[in-house]
Amino acid sequence: MVKSTGLLASDLIKLKNLQLTGKLVSEELMLGIHASKRSGIGTEFEQYRHYEPGDDPKRIDWKLFARTDKHLVRESSTESDHQVRFVLDLSGSMNYEENGISRLNYGRILLASLAYLCYIQNDQMSLYTLQNGAVQTITANGASASGKQAFQKILVGLEKTEAGGEWPKEHVLKFPEFQQRGKEQLIFVTDFLQAGEEWMRLIKSLANPRREIVIFQILGDQEMDFNLKGFYRFKDLETGKEIELDAESVREKFVESATAYLQKVKAELQIPYVHLVRTKLSDPIGMVLKAFLTKRKG
């Protein structure tokens, strides 16, 4: 059996099934991450392990058995009241593509995997998108915001997403929908590319002791390494503007500017309750999530 943590995004995209790809990635994580109140997506992650002789059969998670055909014992039976809000960036730059993998598709699979973990943990989850300076509620937290129904609604919402447009200059985005009643986790999937300080202002305005923020910043290999030769026509995916340049002549300046920007973002996000997870389109999604969850456990 091929371990899902090693599957590349290109392999998962070929399946053309978000539910299956989410399961492939997350089920390996459930068995690979040990129990800890800080190791799961929410704060009440429960460990699963294989059934062993002597275990009470009542401790087998039969619902999980129906989905995986595996006899897994759940360490705790308490349900989580943890709120997880997924926020997907749909600005035009999310259409950036390398080797047949778009940033948007990578983000969809990453969120489907996280949503499946929340489904197993019985976390309450919801999905929002950001586009043209506005927030759109795709699925909201509520009485039926956990379990299979919530998971399926998020998958349907992800399938329908289309990226396009740009962030209005000097626009300050607010989330009136986010009325906190308890602790919650806000998970952004984005390229975190900004014309000014719009993303930074948003994150700093949302972070507080009762709201943990996790930012998955998805970048292309060429956006970080820029190993191109010859003339290329570069297009701004948000404004549509194009320019033709000799890649080698601008490589040094591009890499210098990109490195400075990424270092600046990382430094400014060293604030309480905020976690930055930087990943490339070539990184296996399962490995990205495993590294993140293991780090949170430590």
Backbone phi and psi for residue 32, each to the nearest 5 degrees, phi listed first: -95, -15
Give me the torsion for CA of 53, 57, 62, 68, rounded to 10°: 0
pLDDT in the model for residue 37: 38
For residue 172, the model assigns a pLDDT of 65
Cβ atoms of residues 98 and 197 within 8 Å: no
pLDDT tens for each residue of 150-191: 888 999 999 999 999 887 766 666 666 666 566 889 999 999
Q: If you write DSSP's letter for every residue of 203-246 in order, what string do you get?
A: HHHH-BTTEEEEEEEEE-HHHHH----SEEEEE-TTT--EEEEE
Q: Is residue 153 included in any domain, yes or no?
A: yes
The answer on pLDDT for 210 being more than 90 is no
Nearest-angstrom CA–CA distance, 129 and 135? 6
User: What are the pLDDT digits (tens) for 212-260?
Assistant: 999 999 999 887 776 655 655 556 556 667 676 666 777 777 778 888 8
Neighbours of 263 (CB within 10 A): 10
Assess if residue 56 is contained within a domain: no
Q: Are 188 and 214 in contact, with CB atoms under 8 Å apart? A: yes
pLDDT in tens, 121-150: 788 899 999 998 888 999 876 545 667 888
Residue 253 lies in a domain: yes
Mean pLDDT of 70-94: 76
Q: Could you tell me if residue 65 is inside a domain? A: no
Tell whether the model's pLDDT for residue 202 goes beyond 50. Answer: yes
62 found inside a domain: no
pTM: 0.76
Residue 180 pLDDT: 59
The total number of residues shown for the chain amounts to 298
Nearest to 197 by CA among 270, 110, 264: 264
- What pLDDT does residue 105 have? 93
- Domain-embedded: residue 293: yes
Contact 230, 291 (CB under 8 A): no
Distance, C-alpha 55 to centroid of its chain: 35
Residues 53, 60: contact at Cβ < 8 Å?
no
Phi and psi based region of residue 139 (left: phi greater than 0; alpha: psi -120 to 50; beta: remaining): beta
Asked if 84 and 123 touch (Cβ cutoff 8 Å), the reply is yes
* Average pLDDT for 100-105: 92
Inform me whether the pLDDT recorded for 15 exceeds 70: no
Pseudo-torsion of CA 35, 38, 39, 41, nearest 10°?
Answer: 120
Domain tally, the chain: 1
Mean pLDDT, to the nearest integer, of 14-33?
A: 69
We report the CATH number of the domain holding residue 145 as 3.40.50.410
How deeply is 222 buried, as exposed, middle or buried, from its count of CB atoms within 10 A (0-12, 13-18, 19+)? Answer: middle
**In 34-175, which residue ranges form alpha helices assigned H by DSSP?**
62-68, 103-121, 147-160
The pLDDT assigned to 102 comes to 92
Checking if the pLDDT of 269 tops 90, the result is: yes
| CA–CA separation, 10 and 97 (whole Å) | 11
Does some domain include residue 238? Answer: yes
DSSP string, 4-50: GGG--HHHHHHH--HHHHHHHHHHHHHHHS---TTTSSSTT---EEE
For 15-19, 157-161, 283-287, which range has the lowest pLDDT when averaged over its residues?
A: 15-19
pLDDT (tens digit, 9 = 90+) per residue, 34-81? 433 333 444 344 556 676 776 677 777 777 777 777 777 765 544 456
Domain range for residue 234? 4-44+80-297
- Summarize pLDDT for 110-128 with one digit per residue, the tens: 999 999 888 877 888 999 9
Instruction: Classify residue 122 by its DSSP letter.
Output: T
The answer as to whether 51 is a domain residue is: no
